[in-house]
Amino acid sequence: MTVDQSMYEALAREDQAHLLHPQYFAPDHQQPVIFDRGEGVWLADIRGRRYIDALASLWNVAVGHGRGELADAAAEQMRKVAFTNNYVGFSNVPAIRLASKVIDLAYDNMQGVFFTNSGSESNEGALKAARFYWNLQGRPSKVKLISRERSYHGGTLATSAMTGLPAFWKGFGPLVPEISHTRKPENLECDCTPNTDGECACWIEQAILREGPDTVAAIIVEPVKGAGGVWTPAPEYFPRVREICDRYEVLMIADEVITGFGRTGRWFALEHWGVQPDILSIAKAITSGYIPMGAFIVTGEIFEALKRAPTDARFMHAYTNSGHPTAAAVGLRNLQIMEDEHLVENAAAMGEVLGDALRGALEGHPHVTNLRHLGLMAGLSLVKDAATGEAFDPAATPALRVQRHMREEGGVITRVVGDHVVFAPPLVVNASEIGQIVDATRAAVRAVTGA
Ligand SMILES: Cc1ncc(COP(=O)(O)O)c(C=O)c1O
């Protein structure tokens, strides 16, 4: 579909009149890009403009756009049956098979899958599962959750509280109690190598000690903080965090809503450091965004505890659409595509191409610092002075201007967070498309900073 200017304007007015968008702020929607179709890493809007989707839409379209196989999988399943529920004594074949497939791919210690509709529901359920587990263990005081600065965990009230980005709290208080964040300890001498955002594993230990280990149910960690700006960890960070969790008997929830299913060049990101979580949250790439689905996954130990629960301790957590047959059928087909086309291996190889290209284009630039990447997740920071690290005046909004230039002049769509520009193209991306993404970035940085 390609529409003329008057049809575009009519649709934009209709959008402005009725559609409340995520992170709604009216000026953002004065001249919306209205998407129409996609193919591979490419998107086209209703005016016929083409863009490279350098964020896999919202980190989720792993197998790329336009996959007829996934539409066929959905249609085939829908023709069989509209919906059947997964509650007390009922099940369906795609959900059974997808649960087994996910357990095959996930960490060795994972055993039980609870399907959700989104990453937020996965994290909210993960916290409920952690508390429930400690109750079953006769330790009901372990209820608190510790999260990290700059993390993003979702849009429900509890997952907004988990999120370590204050912009997501403003105007929504009071937030859910018993959820707190790590902060830089004062006067702490430690031998940790900091992560790219300056955080150390000892911040987690300090937070657990501050709250009291007997009251802490779990910590929640993104292996690479995504929506907060793509911040990669030091190699020893997660092994140390695992050790701290074990020492204080605190469950480790890995939020792999972005990093799960190949994004970092491994099926799941903690594999990079030989670490396994106790609960794993996933969503996004399980269906490559073709249909909503997520899950939280628990270890054999937690699953066994739920199986042995007494009659008055049923795990009363539920969603109508948990294990929806259509979503599960799409998930199965999507994971098969990922395996058949070796997309995790491609993410690892193309991630190196992306990292090298960004460094080649921008390392040493007077207004760019902290080029970072793991697999096909990358980020860079714009600063007034790279030599001193001095930040731009917030009113200058350099990243927003870079983003706009990339889109309007370079035909590349990506995302910015504060002064950070982030990249996460579909896992099917090739070297030439990465070249176009990086060229557009370099041109935009030059246009905005003059260097
Ligand atoms: C790491 C992480 N966790 C959770 C979520 C929330 O997922 P959803 O928007 O599907 O609820 C997101 C969304 O971007 C995310 O990036």
Task: State whether the beta carbon of 123 lies less than 6 angstroms from ligand 1.
Answer: yes
Average pLDDT of the chain, as a whole number: 97
Average pLDDT (303-321) is 97
- CATH no. for residue 115? 3.40.640.10
Q: Are residues 272 and 367 in the same domain?
A: no
Q: What is the pLDDT of residues 213-238, one digit of tens each?
A: 999 999 999 999 999 999 999 999 99
Q: Are residues 353 and 318 in the same domain?
A: no
* Beta-strand runs (E) in 33-152: 35-39, 42-45, 50-53, 110-116, 144-147
Q: Are residues 57 and 91 in the same domain?
A: no
Instruction: Tell me how crowded residue 395 is: count the other CB atoms within 10 A of its CB.
Output: 5
Name the phi and psi angles at 85, rounded to 5.
-90, 160
Structural domain boundaries enclosing 41: 33-63+342-449
Cα 450 vs. chain centroid, distance in angstroms?
33
Q: Is residue 201 part of a domain?
A: yes
Alpha helices in 19-118 (DSSP H): 56-59, 68-80, 93-105
CA 15–ligand 1 middle distance (angstroms): 24
Q: What is the pLDDT of residues 251-306, one digit of tens each?
A: 999 999 999 999 999 999 999 999 999 999 999 999 999 999 999 999 999 999 99
Q: In a mutational test of the pocket of ligand 1, which residue from 61, 121, 258, 264 has the highest number of ligand atoms less than 8 Å from its CB? A: 258
CA 219–ligand 1 middle distance (angstroms): 17
**Rounded CA gap, 168 and 157, in Å?**
10
Q: Is residue 15 part of a domain?
A: no
Residue 334 binned pLDDT confidence (cut-offs 50, 70, 90): very high
pTM for the model: 0.98
Q: What is the pLDDT of residues 148-196, one digit of tens each?
A: 999 999 999 999 999 999 999 999 999 999 999 999 888 777 888 999 9
Q: Is residue 13 part of a domain?
A: no
State yes or no: pLDDT of 321 exceeds 90: yes
Q: Are residues 253 and 221 in the same domain?
A: yes
Task: State whether the beta carbon of 255 lies less than 6 angstroms from ligand 1.
Answer: yes
Q: What is the pLDDT of residues 17-35, one digit of tens each?
A: 999 999 999 999 999 999 9
Q: What is the pLDDT of residue 7?
A: 97
- Nearest-atom number in ligand 1 for the CA of 294 is 10
CA 119–ligand 1 middle distance (angstroms): 4
Instruction: Tell me how crowded residue 272 is: count the other CB atoms within 10 A of its CB.
Output: 19
Please give the helix or strand (H or E) that residue 406 lies within, else none: helix 398-408
The closest residue, in CA terms, to atom 3 on ligand 1 is: 153
Structure tokens at 75: 């249609």
**Closest-CA residue to 379 (of 39, 194, 150):** 150
Q: What is the pLDDT of residues 406-430, one digit of tens each?
A: 999 999 999 999 999 999 999 999 9
Residue 1 binned pLDDT confidence (cut-offs 50, 70, 90): confident
Amino acid present at 28: D
Q: What is the pLDDT of residues 64-89, one digit of tens each?
A: 999 999 999 999 999 999 999 999 99
* Beta-strand runs (E) in 313-414: 368-374, 377-382, 412-413
Q: What is the secondary structure of 187-241 as a DSSP string?
A: T----PPPPTTS--HHHHHHHHHHH-GGGEEEEEE-SSB-TTT-BPPPTTHHHHH
Asked if 353 contacts 434 with a C-beta cutoff of 8 angstroms, the reply is yes
